[in-house]
């Protein structure tokens, strides 16, 4: 019976030590960590510029939904080379995203790459990537510039019909 009493007593000591450690951890570790985390979370954002527009195919509607990847060719000094994306429906309308939906692109020069699929390509059939994409393989739209002035950019990307 003496052993059982010691275990209970030892358990109480361990419990007290854990409480002290937990309280100390909160006071000496978690609180400063939270403060540092909050200080590091500034409201300063990178300067994105709204980029919106419309995709057409041969001047008409899109045959299916698709995506656009905006690849930076060059960026303003001091800014990262952050690519952007956009999704479009069959009406062709899109808004570019870099960090949050529809926020736009960082200032710089970009190249757009459009994908619009009529089926899912397969890595087992490499020809399916060209065959199932409504966008011709040689389609290469002009580069465009997003100025640091913050003025919104409106693009019209007309994809030629495949022959």
Q: Vertex 107, ends 105 and 108: CA angle to 5°?
A: 105
Instruction: Please measure the distance between the N-terminal and C-terminal CA atoms of the chain and give it in whole angstroms.
Output: 92
- Give the total residue count for the chain: 163
Evaluate whether 108 touches 147 at the Cβ level (below 8 Å): no
Q: Say which residue, 162 or 70, is predicted with more confidence.
A: 70
pLDDT at 45: 78
Kindly report, residue by residue over 58-98, the tens digit of the pLDDT.
999 999 999 999 999 999 989 999 999 999 999 999 999 99
Evaluate whether 70 touches 96 at the Cβ level (below 8 Å): yes
Kindly report, residue by residue over 10-52, the tens digit of the pLDDT.
555 445 444 544 555 444 444 444 444 444 454 467 889 999 9
Q: Give the phi and the psi of residue 3 in degrees, each rounded to 5.
A: -65, -40
Residue 132 pLDDT exceeds 90: yes
Residue 106 pLDDT exceeds 90: yes
What the block records as the tokens of 63 is: 């045959």
pTM above 0.75, yes or no: no
What the block records as the tokens of 115 is: 């994908």
Q: Are strands 66-75 and 108-116 parallel, antiparallel or unpaired?
A: antiparallel
Dump the DSSP string for 49-83.
B-EEEEEEETTB--SS-EEEEEEEEEE-TTS----
Mean pLDDT on 96-108 = 96
Mean pLDDT on 95-124 = 95
pLDDT category of residue 150 using cuts at 50, 70 and 90 = confident
pLDDT at 32: 46
pLDDT at 15: 53
Residue of 75, 66, 11 whose CA lies nearest to 48: 75
What the block records as the tokens of 76 is: 């303003």
Q: Say which residue, 139 or 38, is predicted with more confidence.
A: 139
What the block records as the tokens of 123 is: 């890595």
């Amino acid at each position: 019976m003496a052993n059982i009493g010691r275990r209970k007593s030892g358990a109480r000591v361990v419990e007290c030590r854990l409480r002290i450690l937990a309280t100390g951890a909160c006071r000496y570790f978690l609180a400063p960590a939270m403060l540092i985390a909050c200080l590091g979370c500034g409201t300063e954002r990178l300067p994105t510029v709204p980029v919106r527009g419309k995709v057409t195919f041969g001047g008409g509607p899109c045959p299916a939904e698709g995506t656009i990847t905006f690849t930076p060719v060059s960026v303003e000094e001091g800014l990262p080379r952050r690519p952007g994306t956009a999704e479009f429906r069959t009406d062709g309308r899109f808004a570019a995203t870099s960090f949050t939906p529809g926020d736009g692109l960082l200032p710089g020069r970009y190249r757009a790459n459009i994908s619009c699929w009529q089926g899912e390509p397969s890595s087992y059939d490499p020809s399916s990537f060209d065959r199932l994409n409504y966008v011709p393989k040689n389609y290469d739209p002009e580069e465009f510039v997003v100025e640091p002035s913050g003025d919104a950019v409106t693009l019209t990307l007309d994809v030629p019909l495949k022959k």
